[in-house]
A and B are shown apart, each in its own frame.
Chain A
């Protein structure tokens, strides 16, 4: 007996048999079992009644004149799509091939003649159970589908927000090649690049734990911090520190971001890096030398961002020297963990070989082709995020478009700013000073040059003046690393000060800015130094990334003041909208 006692909800069964006796007996049995019976006398009648009354179960005689049971079954099954309508073939056929035909036509079971009540009831119950299960599955599937669609919509909205705020702002330059799939964000991959007022470039590659929204959501505050600080010219350690602080406050426990940050100074030809948890960043040299192998891995030596509290976080960066034509290659672990059809991993050894051995101008392309070739058709879109930065001559870096000049601001003013030992140790004054200077709108058109000049003056005052370091150390390969180690050490015990003085005014159409930087050092033989520089400059008229030659390029006047621990520069230009060199 079935469980429907209310006839209104009784399961409807269609009985189709051209033999009146058989049909009547069967209908009676089925009715007795509690079902509502619709009977049909042949194939066409069966189909008509099926479409008109939508039975839940069908009992179908295999051999009927006209349209036989097989044809009816096929048509019913073809049209039933989502709804599961079980079909039981009525047959006194006994040969396996004929029974097989029933199944092939869509039959779910057989019932042999003469009809046995007990067997029929058992079969009807069993099929009823299957029907119920099918309906449950469908309901669950529909629910899941609905939730899934909601999730997808949420993710698309999140992605749109992210795209508006942060997406790939500075990646469209000739010296950066990158691969970042549209879905990268939801695999936790973030690639950020920016220029600072010095026209130097920062690149930050991040890989958040997890997937979906949890991974994507950390990218927003991270990019906020990144773009805000790079625009103001903060240093890489400062930026990594603030990124860590931000992510600690935003991410739930157990979530973190493996990241690597690079600061590329094209003028000085140095790369400063911080790597916490990402696979090694590779420096591929255009020209390998004795102590400078073709491939230098810049390995992870920090914990990922978002784990350590501020007092435990290490912002220590390392600096390497680079040359024009060298390449920096970064990728998240999606490359190393890419799998082929056998399930084998691409691996870091293979990646290293590709980076080391490909022709220097085809590193990115070769790696990309090799990884895709390895993966064939597996999950192509998902996880491959990689970027290559080429070391190009500094003068090819295009400055950011300058904002249109506004009227207003203080038209004549001065201020002084002095840093004592503790500040020299821990604080980078450049962003703050730049901020103050940019309060005067007429200075904004030269923001890059001003920042560059300040940075050069400060770096000399601090390193050569206060710390007493000798820059000739930097010229050898080991000397380079030693220099930065010595710098870090000397800074720990610094005793001295650096003072900035600024004076700016606008006179009719002319803008004048005077910057003076003094330090507590003993000074140096600037006379000889300047003479050498002049001779050098006369022979070689290129772009000068450093030293007094840089100052000569950017300033109208450069004065060293005895005993050499103070420098005063004058910059002056027409007050206009664009650059007017």
Chain B
């Protein structure tokens, strides 16, 4: 579980954010859930653009949080959405869902 998030990044964040560190984590939890929601809904309406944008945003946050694996998955999904390649999208969406769950768990334990 620990390898879902790069602890070095977390430590640095703790240092930078100071008292705002908890608030940051809250923001991530809220935002990431929303972004995933948006992504699945977009997929259901075949709205590749919205799908791409939501996943792109999520990818960014993951990067800042040090959630490297989830970040990579988002990147791959973003690519598919960009080039309108639907075949593997459901598969990747589930992966995102799973990994997001793991990351959320790690965060809640910080």
Physical contact A–B (CB less than 8 Å): yes
- CB neighbors of B among A529-548 (8 A): none
Q: Summarize B's interface: helix, strand, loop or mixed.
A: helix
Q: Are A25 and B60 in contact (CB under 8 A)?
A: no
With A19-B31, A63-B53, A63-B56 in contact, do A24 and B17 touch (Cβ < 8 Å)? yes
User: Is B23 an interface residue, CB under 8 A from the partner?
Assistant: yes
With A25-B13, A63-B53 in contact, do A19 and B20 touch (Cβ < 8 Å)? no
Smallest Cβ distance from B48 to chain A, in angstroms? 15
- CB neighbours (8 Å) of A25 from chain B are 13, 16-17, 24, 64
Give the CA-CA distance A24 to B18 in the complex, in Å: 12
- CB neighbours (8 Å) of A146 from chain B are none
Smallest Cβ distance from A166 to chain B, in angstroms? 76
Smallest Cβ distance from B28 to chain A, in angstroms? 5
Nearest-neighbor residue (CB-CB) of B59 within chain A: A92
Q: Are A24 and B24 in contact (CB under 8 A)?
A: yes
Nearest-neighbor residue (CB-CB) of B68 within chain A: A114
Nearest-neighbor residue (CB-CB) of B60 within chain A: A113
The interface on chain A, measured as residues whose beta carbon lies within 8 A of the other chain's beta carbons, has a size of 17
User: Is A117 an interface residue, CB under 8 A from the partner?
Assistant: yes
CB < 8 Å: which of A20, A63, A92 contacts B27? A20
Give the CA-CA distance A18 to B31 in the complex, in Å: 11
Q: Are B17 and A22 in contact (CB under 8 A)?
A: no
- CB neighbours (8 Å) of A65 from chain B are 53
Smallest Cβ distance from A99 to chain B, in angstroms? 15
- CB neighbors of A among B1-53 (8 A): 9, 12-13, 16-18, 20, 23-24, 27-28, 30-31, 53
Smallest Cβ distance from A98 to chain B, in angstroms? 11
User: Is B61 an interface residue, CB under 8 A from the partner?
Assistant: yes
Q: Are B27 and A21 in contact (CB under 8 A)?
A: yes
Nearest-neighbor residue (CB-CB) of B32 within chain A: A21
Q: What 0/1 pattern do residues 52 to 67 of B give for CB contact below 8 A with A?
A: 0100110111011110
Q: Are A24 and B23 in contact (CB under 8 A)?
A: yes
- CB neighbours (8 Å) of A18 from chain B are 57
- CB neighbours (8 Å) of A63 from chain B are 53, 56
Smallest Cβ distance from A22 to chain B, in angstroms? 5
With A21-B27, A92-B56 in contact, do A32 and B63 touch (Cβ < 8 Å)? no
From A25, A28, A63, A117, residue with most partner B Cβ within 10 Å: A25
Smallest Cβ distance from A485 to chain B, in angstroms? 100
User: Is A171 an interface residue, CB under 8 A from the partner?
Assistant: no
Interface of B toward A, CB cutoff 8 Å: 9, 12-13, 16-18, 20, 23-24, 27-28, 30-31, 53, 56-57, 59-61, 63-66
Q: What are 19 contact pairs spanning A and B, CB under 8 A?
A: A18-B57, A19-B57, A19-B60, A20-B31, A21-B24, A21-B28, A21-B31, A21-B61, A22-B60, A22-B61, A24-B17, A25-B13, A28-B16, A65-B53, A92-B60, A113-B63, A113-B64, A114-B63, A115-B64
Interface of A toward B, CB cutoff 8 Å: 18-22, 24-25, 28-29, 32, 63, 65, 92, 113-115, 117
Besides the known contacts A22-B61, A25-B13, A63-B53, 8 further A-B residue pairs in the complex with CB atoms under 8 A apart: A18-B57, A19-B57, A20-B31, A22-B60, A25-B16, A113-B63, A114-B9, A114-B60
